[in-house]
């Protein structure tokens, strides 16, 4: 029975006028089509509210006749569908058909749409559009939900529509479809699972985008029905994940998680019931599920709606953050990977994420640490600036010292890349960029000094990101494009603005400017040319031997010597002449920046084609063999920057600059140093002058093309800094090649005027220069005669300048100097050195050091006077009168050391005067020890020289050690000087001990076996002899532990499984000889020998070494030891035990502990910031003072510029050298014990030592020295 759709009584309802039959025999298709078209037009015009539905009954039945619904003609079916849709509209809300009929009708509708709706040009498009519009607006389609088998029909509708929408139809059609599907979901009682699967299938494609119609339709439907679909979606994923995980079909589970991510991007509101489910997955035991949920939630949190998710599900957020500590590495790695989006898109939780990431820097697994470093390195500049804290970036930089190579590489790459991105902003003086990133180069360079492996990675970071070479302009760029040499040089100078002294020194070492020429790498290329790929015509055996030797030495310089050896061998065998030529061009000192970039680029391109596996090794080769940081192209910019930083002062900038770079960096970041451009110009000028000074010392050949520029620059006499730098450069290049010395009268006259002026720095370098000029002898004689005549009458400032000139000419023009040497030396000794300064007479002070910048003129004159005496000795080293000249000078220097910086015991000099003179005397004796004729004479005072490393003043100790290491590294000092660094073990400042330790460790690695034996192993007896002569040595138990520390320090650095037997043998031999000076020292030596035997045994046990009998013979040094008078005496000594019983008990206990706690052999511990220790109570007669607050500058401008001659090497070693100031003290943790706090308080009290105590200790030391001198006599 058909339900009635209208009530009676409505005014004048409209009746259907169409009376034709639609079904019957003989009715042609055209006739039927015409009738249906007419019916459709009339039905479409009828209003639902004013229609007489009774008049519709005839067509209602005929339209569902099979002859029409199954008609072959597409047009008939299209119009029939429109008519049926109109009838449903007119009859609404009640349907005029049975449920089965409705099912057939709707199937008919969607069949027509699927088959016919193909585009605006397809037949009957308007009819299909009308049908779809009717279904959308009238919502008659909801009747499907009440039909039997309606679920199946609903599934078909969804499938048909998602297939249909892909035909790229009009936007309105897409909207109609969305309305229809939304209506179906809203009205259905239960959503068929196939419908949900159909919708979900639209999100499966990871590359789906909103411009894809099916995806767009799915998103529209999901957003409109999210409330209804949430429960179904949750059940959908629960079923998949639980069922598939149980069967361990993790590919299906992963697909489901990928789908969740897609849905989250498109319609996050759909997943509100899924998030708790993902949280539960984070806790399950199945690793795969934890990985997937960690990754999925990470994507969801990183989405633009992520903060809403964090707020709504705080427990899920907390549980996800906790996955950083998951027991499985893969989960932790997944968490790290997901953090990139979180960092970028969730700034509100930066504090939590930052802390979590900082903890992961110390994850026990290297892959996690490396992944975190890589993650930070992938961030863009804005993200790193605004969403990553400086503390996290510093932590990443700290991983540059990680034990694992992969972590080190990723860490350096990350911070290097970020610096490269930030550099334009740093250049623009952006305070935020400076605070966040400007410290990076300093950290990279500090890390580079730790070890060879770290150095290689830091070196690459420097070359790739921090100070890269410019790239060649591409052929497509404009014709006038050139390499910007000024920008390249300015980048170096700006980077140096934020470096500390240690970093600057490391940067110098990376510049490849220092060292003898030809370098190791130049020698390698030369041997490769000789080797000729193995085809050798003459001296085949010699060439092959040289090839093997140079390969071995060169490969040893690389981080991976084995691979380097293979690659270098292959390179040598390839014998490509063009590559050799390009390498030589790259290594040539005179090659400018453009030539270097061009040659390097071609070399690597050709090498890539011929042997790509060797590119890595040869890239390192290029970095270490070429001037890629500073070269000839840098000089004009350096000079211009010094000019722009003009300060109208009589004293050069290098002498007045007291503010450290580190302080400048802090000031600049805080915003107090924003006086641009003046501030930047001053810093650039300072950095440029540092480079010019360094070049003058170590690579003056770079100046060859710039002599004219320097000659012109010194005419600007108002700019003291510029004049100083250019005079030093001219002097250096003239010393390298006298032909390059300026000879024009105007320049010569100007230089002569500088020599006679009162600026000591200008006078000094001008004196060097005139000693190299064409008529040098005549000019030098003129200067010396003029100075010697006026020495007694000049002002103090001019006196200092004159003595500086005399110091230079005493070395460089000895013949001219000797003409007035008697007058000069007499004046210097009587009127300068032995005079009491006005300051010493006026006041007493506790200051024990004064920097060069504020050194009083009287003291400066005294220091220079000592240099005059030293240089005179050096200049006459090869003459017959050498010893006659040197002996009184050596005695004078030893007297200064004996009286702790004075020339007599009752001198009233101030502590700072004494400390400067002690330092100068000690370093002068080191220089004189480099001359073979003077070695024996200086050796008489070896103990006093060695004890300088235990001077009470930090700056004296550090500067002395700097000079000692410098000379030892070049092999210029006798072997016994290698034992002096071991006396630093008690130093209260860690950096003194660290520097000594670093030198010994490096030397032991670098030296061949024979050199190690001569310089470190065989000299063990000399260490024992030195300790026996130490003023603090007593054969009493309370003193011996301090002495034992010296020996233990030596063993920790030098002893190995191979040499421990030799060292033990030497310790035994100590009791078979006597001291050359006195019986007292002999007994001290025997006690030292016994002490070292016990310590060596304990050390060997601790390392698991076998202490076997040494098979060889050892010859003890005859200059300090003598043979025993008889066999009876020898037996008596051997039987006697010289150590007290308490000491033996202490050693036995120490040995048993060592046996129980065997430790691994020499494992490098990570560096930690060390707190300052108190000075040992027993040093060489006086307590060592910790360094003052004033920091040492790295002004070594008075060191000689090159290593081309003995005299040049030894000139003016320590003018301006000041010890590096200490690093910051480590913070004391809250958990520090009471004992540590007490120790710290004692240390502070020790620093406040009174002057009376200092005097008392000084007197004690003087008495000991006098006693020792008396025993000498």
Determine the average pLDDT of the residues in 353-372.
94
In this predicted structure, the answer to whether residue 675 has a pLDDT above a threshold of 60 is no
Max Cα–Cα distance, the chain, nearest Å:
153
pLDDT bin (cut points 50, 70, 90) of residue 1154 is: low
Q: How confident is the model at residue 1097 (pLDDT cuts 50, 70, 90)?
A: very high
Instruction: Please state, rounded to an integer, the average pLDDT across all residues of the chain.
Output: 83
How much is the pLDDT for 439? 96
Whole-angstrom distance between the N-terminal and C-terminal Cα of the chain?
A: 143
Residue 1184 confidence class, pLDDT cut points 50, 70, 90: low
Q: What is the mean pLDDT of residues 1210-1224?
A: 38
Q: What is the pLDDT of residue 135?
A: 85
Is the pLDDT at 756 greater than 50? The verdict is yes
pLDDT band at 96 (very low <50, low <70, confident <90, very high): confident
Q: How many residues does the chain have?
A: 1273
Least confident stretch, 251-255, 883-887, 954-958: 251-255
Could you report the per-residue pLDDT of 190-218, keeping only the tens digit for each? 888 888 888 888 888 777 778 788 888 88
- Check pLDDT > 90 for residue 373: yes
Task: Name the token pair of 865.
Answer: 């006077």
Peptide bond into 518 cis (omega under 30): yes
Q: What per-residue confidence (pLDDT) applies to 3?
A: 40
The CA distances from residue 1232 to 407, 1173, 1227, 1235, 1246, in Å, are 32, 16, 10, 8, 20
pLDDT confidence of residue 211 = 76
pLDDT higher than threshold 90 for residue 1013: yes
Burial of 581 (0-12, 13-18, 19+ CB in 10 A): middle
pLDDT at 696: 96
Per-residue pLDDT band at 378 (split at 50, 70, 90): very high
With a cut of 60, say whether residue 770 has pLDDT above it: yes
The DSSP element (H or E) to which 1231 belongs, if any, is: none
Put residue 575 in one of left, alpha, beta given phi > 0 → left and psi -120 to 50 → alpha.
Answer: left
For residue range 27-49, what is the model confidence (pLDDT) as tens digits? 788 888 888 888 888 888 888 78
Residue 826 burial by CB count (10 A; 0-12/13-18/19+): exposed, middle or buried? Answer: exposed
State how far the Cα of 599 lies from the Cα of 578, in Å rounded to an integer.
Answer: 10
pLDDT tops 60 at residue 480: no
Give DSSP secondary structure letters for 1066-1095: HHHHGGGEEESS-HHHHHHHHHHHHHHHHH
| pLDDT band per the 50, 70, 90 thresholds, residue 150 | confident
* 909-936 mean pLDDT: 94
861-890: average pLDDT: 94
Closest Cα to residue 981, out of 943, 949, 1022?
949
Query: Which two structure tokens, joined as six digits, stand for 959?
Result: 């500067």
Min mean pLDDT across 120-129, 923-932, 940-949 is at 120-129
- What is the predicted pLDDT for the residue at 834? 83
Residue 273 has pLDDT above 80, yes or no: yes
Three-class SS of residue 1206? Answer: helix
Q: CB of 1046 within 8 A of CB of 982?
A: yes
pLDDT for the residue numbered 153:
87
| Paired sense of beta strands 1121-1123 and 1073-1075, if any | antiparallel
Q: Which of 870, 809, 954, 759 is nearest to 1213 (CA)?
A: 870
Please state, in angstroms and rounded to a whole number, the distance separating the CA atoms of residues 1162 and 200: 61
The mean per-residue pLDDT over the stretch 407-432 comes to: 95
pLDDT at residue 685, as a whole number: 94
Give the tens place of pLDDT for each residue, 1199-1211.
333 333 333 344 4
Answer yes or no: pTM beyond 0.85.
Answer: no
pLDDT digits (tens, 9 = 90+) for 1020-1073: 999 999 999 999 998 888 888 999 999 999 999 999 999 999 999 999 999 999
Q: Which of 112-126, 286-300, 441-455, 661-675 has the lowest mean pLDDT?
A: 661-675
Task: Decide if pLDDT at 1261 tops 50.
Answer: no
Q: Kindly tell me if the per-residue pLDDT of 133 is higher than 90.
A: no
Give the model's pLDDT for residue 839: 53
Higher pLDDT, 19 or 107: 107
- pLDDT for res 1122: 92
Q: Average pLDDT for residues 686-690, to the nearest whole number?
A: 95
- Which pLDDT does position 1231 carry in this prediction? 31
Most confident of 821-830, 923-932, 1233-1242: 923-932
Residue 887 CA to residue 869 CA, distance in Å, equals 11
Average pLDDT over residues 395-419: 95
In the predicted model, what is the mean pLDDT of residues 1109-1121?
A: 91
Does the pLDDT of residue 1091 top 90, yes or no?
A: yes
**pLDDT at position 1156:** 65
Which pLDDT value is given to residue 1152?
74
What integer pLDDT is reported at residue 1255 of this predicted model?
A: 41
**Whole-angstrom distance, CA of residue 1039 vs CA of residue 1139:** 11
Chain position carrying tokens 């585009």: 119
Portion of the chain with pLDDT greater than 90, in percent = 51
Distance separating alpha carbons of residues 255 and 268, to the nearest angstrom: 18
Q: 704 falls in which pLDDT band (50, 70, 90)? A: very high
Mean pLDDT value of segment 1101-1116: 90
Nearest Cα to 556, choosing from 660, 465, 452, 709?
452
533 to 572, 574, 576: CA distances (angstroms): 6, 6, 8
pLDDT, residue 960, reads: 96
């Amino acid at each position: 029975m058909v339900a009635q759709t209208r009530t009676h009584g409505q005014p004048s309802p409209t009746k259907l006028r169409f009376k034709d039959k639609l079904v019957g025999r003989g009715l042609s298709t055209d006739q039927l089509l015409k009738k249906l078209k007419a019916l459709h037009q009339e039905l479409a015009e009828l209003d639902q509210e004013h229609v007489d539905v009774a008049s519709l009954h005839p067509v209602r039945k005929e339209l569902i006749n099979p002859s029409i619904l199954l008609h072959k003609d597409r047009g008939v079916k299209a119009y029939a569908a429109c008519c049926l849709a109109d009838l449903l509209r007119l009859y609404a809300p009640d349907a005029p058909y049975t449920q089965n009929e409705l099912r057939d009708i709707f199937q008919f509708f969607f069949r027509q749409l699927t088959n016919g709706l193909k585009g605006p040009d397809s037949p009957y498009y308007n009819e299909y559009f009308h049908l779809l519009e009717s279904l959308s607006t009238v919502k008659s389609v909801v009747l499907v939900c009440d039909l039997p088998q309606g679920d199946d029909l609903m599934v078909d509708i969804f499938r048909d529509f998602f297939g249909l929408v892909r035909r790229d139809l009009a936007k309105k059609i897409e909207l109609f479809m969305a309305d229809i599907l939304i209506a179906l979901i809203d009205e259905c009682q239960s959503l068929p699972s196939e419908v949900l699967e159909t919708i979900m299938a639209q999100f499966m494609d990871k590359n789906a985008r909103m411009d894809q119609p099916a995806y767009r339709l799915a998103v529209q439907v999901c957003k409109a029905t999210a409330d209804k679909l949430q429960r179904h979606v949750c059940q959908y994923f629960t079923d998949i994940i639980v069922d598939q995980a149980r069967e361990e079909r993790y590919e299906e589970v992963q697909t489901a998680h990928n789908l969740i991510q897609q849905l989250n991007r498109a319609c996050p509101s759909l997943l509100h019931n899924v998030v708790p489910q993902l949280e539960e997955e984070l806790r399950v035991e199945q690793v795969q599920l934890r990985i997937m949920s960690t990754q999925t939630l990470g994507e969801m949190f990183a989405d633009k709606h992520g903060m809403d998710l964090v707020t709504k599900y705080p427990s899920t957020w907390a549980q996800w953050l906790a996955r950083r500590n998951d027991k499985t590495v893969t989960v932790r790695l997944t968490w790290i990977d997901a953090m990139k989006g979180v960092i970028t898109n969730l700034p509100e939780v930066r504090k939590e994420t930052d802390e979590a990431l900082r903890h992961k820097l110390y994850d026990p697994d290297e892959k996690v640490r490396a992944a975190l470093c890589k993650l930070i390195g992938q961030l863009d500049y804005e993200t790193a600036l605004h969403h990553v804290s400086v503390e996290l970036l510093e932590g990443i930089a700290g991983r540059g010292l990680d034990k694992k190579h992969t972590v080190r590489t990723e860490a350096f790459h990350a911070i290097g890349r970020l610096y490269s991105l930030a550099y334009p902003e740093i250049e623009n003086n952006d305070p935020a960029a400076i605070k966040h990133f400007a410290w990076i180069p300093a950290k990279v360079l500090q890390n580079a000094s730790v070890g060879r492996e770290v150095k290689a990675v830091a070196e690459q970071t420097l070359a790739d990101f921090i100070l890269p070479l410019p790239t060649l302009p591409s052929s497509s760029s404009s014709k006038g494009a050139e390499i910007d040499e000024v920008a390249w040089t300015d980048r170096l100078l700006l980077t140096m603005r934020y470096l500390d002294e240690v970093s600057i020194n490391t940067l110098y070492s990376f510049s490849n400017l220092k060292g003898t020429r030809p370098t190791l790498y130049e020698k390698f290329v030369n041997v490769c040319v000789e080797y000729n790929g193995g085809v050798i015509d003459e001296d085949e055996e010699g060439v092959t031997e040289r090839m093997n030797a140079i390969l071995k030495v060169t490969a040893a310089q690389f981080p991976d010597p084995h691979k380097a050896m293979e690659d270098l061998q292959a390179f040598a065998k390839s014998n490509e002449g063009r590559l050799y030529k390009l390498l030589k061009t790259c290594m040539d000192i005179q090659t400018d920046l453009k030539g270097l970039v061009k040659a390097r680029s071609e070399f690597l391109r050709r090498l890539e084609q011929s042997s790509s596996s060797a590119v890595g090794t040869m890239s390192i080769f290029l970095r270490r063999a070429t001037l890629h940081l500073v070269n000839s192209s840098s000089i004009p910019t350096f000079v211009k920057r010094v000019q722009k930083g003009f300060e109208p002062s009589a004293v050069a900038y290098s002498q007045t600059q007291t503010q450290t770079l580190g302080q400048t960096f802090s000031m600049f970041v805080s915003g107090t140093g924003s006086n641009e451009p003046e501030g930047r110009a001053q810093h650039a000028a300072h950095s440029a002058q540092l480079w010019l000074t360094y070049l003058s010392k170590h690579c003056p050949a770079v100046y060859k093309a710039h002599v004219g520029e320097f000659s012109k620059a010194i005419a600007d006499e108002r700019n003291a800094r510029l004049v100083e730098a250019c005079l030093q450069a001219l002097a250096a290049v003239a010393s390298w090649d006298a032909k390059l010395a300026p000879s024009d009268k105007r320049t010569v006259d100007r230089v002569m005027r500088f020599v006679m002026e009162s600026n000591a720095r200008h006078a000094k370098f001008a004196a060097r220069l005139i000693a190299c000029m064409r008529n040098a002898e005549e000019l030098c004689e003129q200067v010396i005669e003029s100075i010697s005549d006026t020495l007694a009458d000049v002002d103090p400032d001019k006196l200092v300048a004159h003595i500086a000139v005399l110091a230079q000419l005493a070395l460089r023009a000895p013949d001219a100097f000797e003409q007035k040497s008697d007058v000069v030396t007499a004046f210097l000794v009587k009127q300068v050195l032995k005079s009491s300064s006005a300051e010493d007479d006026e006041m007493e002070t506790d200051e024990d050091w004064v920097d060069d910048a504020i050194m009083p003129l009287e003291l400066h004159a005294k220091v220079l006077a000592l240099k005059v005496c030293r240089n005179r000795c050096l200049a006459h080293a090869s003459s017959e009168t050498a010893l006659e000249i040197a002996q009184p000078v050596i005695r004078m220097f030893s007297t200064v050391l004996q009286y702790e910086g004075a020339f007599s015991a009752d001198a009233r000099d101030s502590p700072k005067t004494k400390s400067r003179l002690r330092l100068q005397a000690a370093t002068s004796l080191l220089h004189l020890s480099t001359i073979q004729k003077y070695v024996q004479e200086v050796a008489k005072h070896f103990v006093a020289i060695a004890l300088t490393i235990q001077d009470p003043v930090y700056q004296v100790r550090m500067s002395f050690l700097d000079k000692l290491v410098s000379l030892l590294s070049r092999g210029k000092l006798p072997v016994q000087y290698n034992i002096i660094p071991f006396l630093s073990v008690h130093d209260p400042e860690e950096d003194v001990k660290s520097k000594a330790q670093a030198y010994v460790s490096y030397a032991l690695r670098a030296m061949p076996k024979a050199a190690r034996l001569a310089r470190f192993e065989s000299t063990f007896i000399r260490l024992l002899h030195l300790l026996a002569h130490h003023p603090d040595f007593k054969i009493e138990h309370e003193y011996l532990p301090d002495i034992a520390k010296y020996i233990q320090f030596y063993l920790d650095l030098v002893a190995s499984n191979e040499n421990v037997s030799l060292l033990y043998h030497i310790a035994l031999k100590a009791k078979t000889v006597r001291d050359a000076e006195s019986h007292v020292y002999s007994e001290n030596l025997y006690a030292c020998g016994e002490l070292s035997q016990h310590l060596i045994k304990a050390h060997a046990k601790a390392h698991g070494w076998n202490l076997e009998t040494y098979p060889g013979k050892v010859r003890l040094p005859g200059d300090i030891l003598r043979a025993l008078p008889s066999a009876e005496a020898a037996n008596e000594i051997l039987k006697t035990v010289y150590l007290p019983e308490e000491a033996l008990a202490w050693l036995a206990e120490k040995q048993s502990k060592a046996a129980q706690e065997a430790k691994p052999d020499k494992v490098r511990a990570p560096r930690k910031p060390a707190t300052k220790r108190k000075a040992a109570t027993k040093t060489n007669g006086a307590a060592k003072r910790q360094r003052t607050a004033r920091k040492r500058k790295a002004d070594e401008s008075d060191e000689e510029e090159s290593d081309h001659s003995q005299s040049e090497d030894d000139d003016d070693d320590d003018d301006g050298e000041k010890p590096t100031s200490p690093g910051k003290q480590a913070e004391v943790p809250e958990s520090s014990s009471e004992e540590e706090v007490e120790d710290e308080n004692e240390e502070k009290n020790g620093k406040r030592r009174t002057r009376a105590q200092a005097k008392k200790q000084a007197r004690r030391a003087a008495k000991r020295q006098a006693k020792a001198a008396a025993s000498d006599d």
